[in-house]
Amino acid sequence: MNETATAPVSTDAVVVLTEPAARQIATMLAEDKENAGKPLRVYVEAGGCSGMQYGMVFDEKRADDLSAEYFGVSVVVDALSANYVRGAVIDFSDALTGGGFKINNPNAHSSCGCGKSFSA
């Protein structure tokens, strides 16, 4: 494997994708022709058990987005969400129990059992 295939490319990396997460996202994009070529948007919104919740969606890049690329997958974060997720690591597990995307966010003071909600 060459170095450029695994090295992150960033204009201002806010979150990091692990290789398993990037592989899963690439698989999802390959199966969904409507979203082909779109970056993964990671965002935070009010809601959830702990006050704030994570969201991820395939979306167009906007002028004020912060962006990075990991293992061939582009990730964008809006400036407001960046305040809450800077330094977070997104991982993926295909385990039957507890599998799925996991966000390890150093800015979260507490999180709910579902793993999708946190307080900053």
| Residue 34, helix vs strand vs coil | helix
Query: What's the burial of 89, exposed, middle or buried (CB within 10 Å: 0-12/13-18/19+)?
Result: middle
DSSP secondary structure of 44-92: EEE-STTSEEEEEEE----TT-EEEEETTEEEEE-HHHHHHHTT-EEEE
Which of 11-15, 69-73, 100-104, 107-111 is most confident? 69-73
**Is the pLDDT at 3 greater than 90, yes or no?**
no
* Confidence check: pLDDT of 106 > 90: no
- pLDDT-derived band at 86, boundaries 50, 70, 90: very high
Q: Is the pLDDT of residue 116 over 80?
A: no
Question: How confident is the model at residue 17, as a pLDDT?
Answer: 96
Give the chain's domains with CATH numbers.
Answer: 3-119 (2.60.300.12)
Instruction: pLDDT band for 6, please (50, 70, 90 cuts).
Output: very low
Task: Report how far residue 45's alpha carbon sits from residue 54's, in angstroms, rounded to the nearest whole number.
Answer: 7
